[in-house]
Amino acid sequence: MSGNGRIALVTGASRGIGRAIALGLAARGFDLALNDIEAQGAALKETADEARAMGRRVEELYADVSDKAQVQAMVADAVARLGTVHAVVNNAGILRASDVEHCPEDYWDSVMDVNAKGTFLVIQALLPVMKAQGYGRICNISSIGGKHGAPEQAHYSASKAAVMGFTRVLAQEVGPLGITANCICPGIILTDMGRVNLDDPAISNAWKAKTAMARIGAPEDVAGPVAFFCSDDSAFVTGQTLNVDGGIVLS
């Protein structure tokens, strides 16, 4: 799964799964455009510097993926600095927990705006670039939460289900253009966002018991499958959703 100097844009790359994906792609030979919001600037620089230490070209790009103007400027900046973008990993995402009855409207809107609309906006901005070069690899990060969900995450589950449905249709539209579009569904992964619950031994042990591999995932567990979808090893794979969950969703 060599990147052969191809260029990948990774959103939400400052920490957690996004950071692991960025470093995994760098280790496999991809040059990188790394995105996050400005508040994550210090962490994004750390990720970028680690990738640079592997000998890769890396550019840091700040944008809120839910804002169309910022996304378009980010993509234009990436192309100006690196020449083009061959692959994109739409990883940026948020979770604001609430039950359905009491969920504030702004919780629903913000989660849908970042997780679902953000994925759409980034791809919409990149498609002219990929279409012009007759090549593209799109990897959208959904979640097993989009398949089954959990209490107090209905809006998050809805946003991740939207990403899967969007990816299936996108694959049909862009396939003739030399572009593939696939989806990754991480399971229970120990990140800063996941640590809120997983630091509780009872919750952590309960998830381990539901997982065929009897462990919680690490962000690095997601990097290899993403690299596959970003490489030519997956040249005849599109419209697919891959569970990366250690065996929670057995399908």
CATH of the domain at 75: 3.40.50.720
In a domain, 250, yes or no: no
As a whole number of angstroms, the distance between CA 120 and CA 111 comes to 14
For this structure, is 107 an active site residue?
Answer: no
- Alpha-carbon dihedral 42, 3, 55, 61, rounded to 10 degrees: -30
pLDDT attached to residue 195: 64
Once rounded to an integer, what is the mean pLDDT over residues 132-155?
A: 96
* Residue 203 falls inside a structural domain: yes
Cβ contact 163:146 at 8 Å: yes
Give pLDDT, residue 103.
97
Does the pLDDT value for residue 68 go beyond 80?
yes
- Give yes or no for residue 36 having a pLDDT over 70: yes
Angstrom distance (rounded) from CA 222 to CA 24: 9
**Position 193 in a domain:** yes
- The radius of gyration of the chain's CA atoms, rounded to the nearest angstrom, is 17
Question: Can you point out the beta strands (E) in the chain?
Answer: 7-10, 31-36, 58-62, 87-90, 136-141, 179-186, 241-244
- DSSP of 193-248: HHHHHHTSHHHHHHHHHHSTT-S-B-THHHHHHHHHHHSGGGTT--S-EEEESSSS
Buried b (16+ CB within 10 A) or exposed e, 145-154: bbbebeeebb
Name the residue range of residue 202's domain.
7-244
Task: Pick the catalytic residue from 62, 107, 135, 156.
Answer: 156
Lowest-confidence region among 130-134, 172-176, 188-192:
188-192
Task: Give every CB contact of residue 87 below 8 A, 6+ residues apart in sequence.
Answer: 6, 7, 8, 9, 30, 136, 137, 138, 139, 230
pLDDT for position 132: 98
Structure tokens at 54: 């592997």
Quote the pLDDT of residue 1.
58
- State the DSSP H helix or E strand holding residue 125, giving kind and residue range, or none if neither: helix 118-133
How many domains does the chain contain in total? 1
Chain segment 230-249, per-residue pLDDT in tens: 999 999 999 999 999 999 99
> Token pair 């049909």 is at which residue?
172
- Asked, for residue 1, whether it belongs to a domain, the answer is no
Provide the residue type at 74 as one letter: M
Find out whether 139 and 185 touch, Cβ atoms under 8 Å: no
- Residue 2 counted as domain residue: no
Look at residue 2 in the predicted model and tell me its pLDDT. Answer: 61
Give phi and psi for 16, each to the nearest 5.
Answer: 60, -135
Flag whether 88 is in a domain.
yes
Measured over all CA atoms, what is the biggest interatomic distance in the chain, rounded to whole angstroms? Answer: 52
- pLDDT for 136 equals 98
Asked whether the predicted pLDDT for residue 194 surpasses 70, the reply is no
Residue 101: inside a domain: yes
Q: For residue 99, is it within any domain?
A: yes
